[in-house]
Amino acid sequence: MNTLLEILESRLLTALSKAGIDLPVGFPVKIFAAADVRHGDYQANTAMALAKRLKMNPRELATQVVDALEVDDLADLEIAGPGFINFRIKSETWSQKVGQLINDPRLGVGSVAEPQNIVVDFSAPNVAKPMHVGHIRSTIIGDSLSRICRFLGHNVTTDNHIGDWGTQFGMVIYGWKNLIDPVAIEADPLQELLRLYRAVNLLCKEEEAIKDECRDELVKLQNGDAENFAIWEKCVEVSKVGLNKIYDRLDVSFDHWLGESYYNSELVPLVKALEAEGLARESDGALCVFSGEELPPKQDPFKEKRDGEWSDFPMIVRKGDGAFNYATTDVATVDHRLKQWNADKIWYVVDARQSLHFQQLFDVSKRRGCKAKLEHISFGTILGKDGKPLKTRDGDLPQLADVLDDAVKSARTVLEEKSGDLPVEEKDELAKMIGIGSVKFTELSHHRSSDYIFDLDKMVALQGDTAPYLQYSYVRVRAIFRKLEEEVTLDADGLQITEQGEINLARTLSKFGEVLPTVLDDLKPNILSNYLLDLAKAFHSFFEACQVLKSEGDVRKSRLVLCELTGRVLQQGLGLLGIQVPERM
Ligand code: ARG
């Protein structure tokens, strides 16, 4: 099913050719949802933009276009101001549209014509280091983008590139051998590994000898020492179990967990190849790739800074001591994703501080012939109420599991006030759904590159731009159907959308298929979040203005269909953000 926007755009294109207007090559013929619906539902400024190019009078051109435009079956037209063409969708068209939507399991969202193979690299915490709130942003954004891409018809491969190989293992192995608490490592492995890492880190600062011992443990591991290798394997295994507990709570999963260690055996030949290709050369004992000719495009506003960074900091692919590092592994990872998964695109959902690493990686990959589009989907910082990066009382980065616990607790308090008489078990389940949903929605309703303040009270409030507000909107829809005494067939027959409240809701519902694909333009899930808030608001206004259960006949049926569609779009849309909805609360 085409969206109204698509239909109008294609009619406009036909009209332009019928009116004998020669479009300059590549000239975009676009229609937009009107910002102010008092003037219509859609608007085109094509005539004005074209008139400038063709040196014509814009209003005259608009008149020619409108004369040739055949949209009688859909909309009324009006020319406004200097030459805007306004489209007001007819009441019958809304009725028809709503009828199509109620029969469409995809709720008006089309599938992409050319599905692409998209690899999404997200979450990727480091073993034995805390999974902190920085990883929360990656996990939530990456999961949501993956869900949306899949729904739109792309072939998505999700890969959790965990940091399971690296210098931290020198300390962890030393700690495992000397300081481990055998009970704790079984009970809460993530916590115990973290404790070991922190304790040894501290010891290293105090005693040079311990630092040396850790380095020895690391070298032994890298040289395949059986005991150290077994400890490493165990660390990774228990970490995965611990991480999976968090992912289960978050309802997040991955197709693959190809961590850094997966690429170990490929690094020697890779680095040889980099040297042979003339990309890497020795510098101060390390093997480095320097910024190449093929620098990022000129229009890039950061180019100047980037060149500077590049020449100041080459990408090191083999350190002076012979060890490979994070960057080397990432080059190998690109190769794997191209070869095994035939990637057209690879998205790295990683915080903004790693932008130099990704500039280097993308440049090197391009010079090695990578045709896939590589993109760093970066994001800012989560701030505390004081406007500074969120910290615990001890000054550490808060851990993800604690953040989730706090959110669930806050949601439980809100529920106690609002729905104290629900059974305890149901309240517990609801608190999880609302608490986790709140954390996700707060993340996904902000522009990803901005920092935001983590304010639990606001996040779990029923009023405001929050997850519980949307979840509650869904619940209100379900409540209407629970009160219904008769059987109603929710189909397209006899629908009439006439009153303003109904039209506003119908318009918002029909926009779902127009808005969702645009999330992928700049990879911004907040576009979907904002749409869902608009939908909930349109629903509440409709519900206040138009009686549903007290109405009769076709009016009643039409309104019930609008309610049902609201519920479906809310559920689907929140689902694409990774947020669940309750039946009551
Ligand atoms: N483990 C890294 C970190 O926590 C993120 C890895 C992102 N993915 C990648 N392919 N580099 O900072």
* pLDDT at 397 (0 to 100): 78
Q: Around Cβ 329, how many Cβ atoms within 10 Å? A: 23
State in Å: Cα 162 to ligand 1 middle.
Answer: 7
* pLDDT at 350 (0 to 100): 95
40 and 179 belong to one structural domain: no
**Distances in whole angstroms, Cα of residue 140 to Cα of each of 334, 448, 472, 526, 577:** 23, 11, 21, 12, 8
* pLDDT at 311 (0 to 100): 58
Please list, in sequence order, all residues whose beta carbon lies within 8 angstroms of the beta carbon of residue 300, skipping any fewer than 6 positions away. Answer: 306
Radius of gyration over every alpha carbon of the chain, rounded to an integer in angstroms: 28
417 and 537 belong to one structural domain: yes
Closest atom of ligand 1 to CA, residue 134: 4
What is the tally of structural domains in the chain?
3
Edge-to-edge strands of the sheet including 280-283? 280-283, 286-289, 315-318
Confidence of residue 576 (pLDDT cuts 50, 70, 90): very high
The residues pairing with 256 across neighbouring beta strands, listed in sequence order, are 159
Task: Pick left, alpha or beta for residue 322 (phi over 0 → left; psi -120 to 50 → alpha; otherwise beta).
Answer: left
State in Å: Cα 231 to ligand 1 middle.
Answer: 23
State in Å: Cα 515 to ligand 1 middle.
Answer: 31
Closest atom of ligand 1 to CA, residue 354: 12
Tell me the average pLDDT of the chain: 93
Domain residues for the domain of 473 are 400-576
Mean pLDDT across 485-505? 95
Distance from C-alpha of 65 to C-alpha of 12, rounded to nearest angstrom: 8
| Residue with CA closest to ligand 1 atom 6 | 124
* pLDDT at 472 (0 to 100): 97
In a domain, 22, yes or no: yes
In a domain, 149, yes or no: no
Mean pLDDT across 253-279? 96
Closest atom of ligand 1 to CA, residue 351: 12
Place of tokens 């814009």: 58
| DSSP string for 556-581 | HHHHHHHHHHHHHHHHHHHHHTT---
CA dihedral 135, 139, 145, 148 (to 10 degrees): -160
State in Å: Cα 232 to ligand 1 middle.
Answer: 19
412 and 538 belong to one structural domain: yes
* pLDDT at 128 (0 to 100): 84
Closest atom of ligand 1 to CA, residue 121: 8
Please list, in sequence order, all residues whose beta carbon lies within 8 angstroms of the beta carbon of residue 188, skipping any fewer than 6 positions away. Answer: 242
230 and 84 belong to one structural domain: no
In a domain, 482, yes or no: yes
Closest atom of ligand 1 to CA, residue 129: 4
Mark which of 185, 218, 250 sits at the end of a domain.
Answer: 250
Of 178, 181, 167, 177, the residue nearest 128 (C-alpha): 167
| DSSP string for 123-170 | --PBTTS--BHHHHHHHHHHHHHHHHHHHTT-EEEEE---B-SSTHHH
Over 50: is that where the pLDDT of 531 sits?
A: yes
**Distances in whole angstroms, Cα of residue 151 to Cα of each of 289, 375, 443, 536:** 39, 20, 20, 22
In a domain, 47, yes or no: yes
Distance from C-alpha of 38 to C-alpha of 500, rounded to nearest angstrom: 11
Q: Tell me what percent of the residues of the chain surpass a pLDDT of 70.
A: 96
CATH number at residue 550: 1.10.730.10
Helix (H) or strand (E) run with residue 212 in it: helix 208-222
| Residue with CA closest to ligand 1 atom 3 | 125
570 and 423 belong to one structural domain: yes
State in Å: Cα 130 to ligand 1 middle.
Answer: 13
Closest atom of ligand 1 to CA, residue 333: 10
- State the pairing for strand pair 155-159/42-44: unpaired
552 and 451 belong to one structural domain: yes
* pLDDT at 293 (0 to 100): 52
| Residue with CA closest to ligand 1 atom 4 | 125
* pLDDT at 399 (0 to 100): 83
Closest atom of ligand 1 to CA, residue 348: 8
| DSSP string for 378-400 | ----EE-TTSSB---TTSSPPBH
Q: Map residue 119 onto helix, strand or coil.
A: strand
State in Å: Cα 97 to ligand 1 middle.
Answer: 45
324 is written with which tokens? 């490979």
Closest atom of ligand 1 to CA, residue 357: 11
* pLDDT at 294 (0 to 100): 47
Give the tens place of pLDDT for each residue, 75-98.
Answer: 999 999 999 999 999 999 999 999
Phi, psi (degrees; rounded to nearest 5) at 454? -90, 100
Distance from C-alpha of 146 to C-alpha of 140, rounded to nearest angstrom: 10
Distance from C-alpha of 432 to C-alpha of 182, rounded to nearest angstrom: 31
The three-point CA angle 20-26-32 to 5° equals: 85
ipTM: 0.99
CATH number at residue 65: 3.30.1360.70
Over 80: is that where the pLDDT of 396 sits?
A: no
In a domain, 379, yes or no: no
Distance from C-alpha of 328 to C-alpha of 289, rounded to nearest angstrom: 10
* pLDDT at 130 (0 to 100): 72
Mean pLDDT across 98-121? 98
| Residue with CA closest to ligand 1 atom 5 | 124
Give the tens place of pLDDT for each residue, 192-226.
Answer: 998 999 999 999 999 999 999 999 999 999 889 99
87 vs 304, residue with greater confidence: 87
Over 70: is that where the pLDDT of 309 sits?
A: no
408 and 518 belong to one structural domain: yes
Closest atom of ligand 1 to CA, residue 330: 10
* pLDDT at 550 (0 to 100): 95
Mark which of 250, 274, 305 sits at the end of a domain.
Answer: 250
Distance from C-alpha of 312 to C-alpha of 304, rounded to nearest angstrom: 12
66 and 172 belong to one structural domain: no
181 and 52 belong to one structural domain: no
* pLDDT at 300 (0 to 100): 47
Confidence of residue 305 (pLDDT cuts 50, 70, 90): very low
State in Å: Cα 246 to ligand 1 middle.
Answer: 18
* pLDDT at 167 (0 to 100): 86
Q: Of 161, 351, 399, which is best to mutate to test ligand 1, by the most ligand atoms within 8 angstroms of its C-beta?
A: 161
* pLDDT at 395 (0 to 100): 77
State in Å: Cα 460 to ligand 1 middle.
Answer: 30
235 is written with which tokens? 């660390």
* pLDDT at 69 (0 to 100): 97
State in Å: Cα 124 to ligand 1 middle.
Answer: 5
32 is written with which tokens? 């937009």
508 and 408 belong to one structural domain: yes
State in Å: Cα 163 to ligand 1 middle.
Answer: 7
Q: What is the DSSP letter of 256?
A: B
Mark which of 208, 223, 250 sits at the end of a domain.
Answer: 250
In a domain, 305, yes or no: no
State in Å: Cα 121 to ligand 1 middle.
Answer: 8
Contact 129, 91 (CB under 8 A): no
Name the pTM for this structure.
0.93
The ligand 1 site (C-beta within 6 Å) comprises 121, 124-126, 161, 163, 330, 333, 348, 350
State in Å: Cα 350 to ligand 1 middle.
Answer: 7
In a domain, 63, yes or no: yes
Distance from C-alpha of 167 to C-alpha of 370, rounded to nearest angstrom: 29
79 and 173 belong to one structural domain: no
Mean pLDDT across 442-467? 93
State in Å: Cα 161 to ligand 1 middle.
Answer: 6
84 and 189 belong to one structural domain: no
* pLDDT at 310 (0 to 100): 57
Longest C-alpha distance within the chain, in Å?
A: 86
Give the tens place of pLDDT for each residue, 461-487.
Answer: 999 999 999 999 999 999 999 999 888
In a domain, 346, yes or no: no
State in Å: Cα 228 to ligand 1 middle.
Answer: 24
Distance from C-alpha of 382 to C-alpha of 23, rounded to nearest angstrom: 47
Helix (H) or strand (E) run with residue 64 in it: helix 58-68
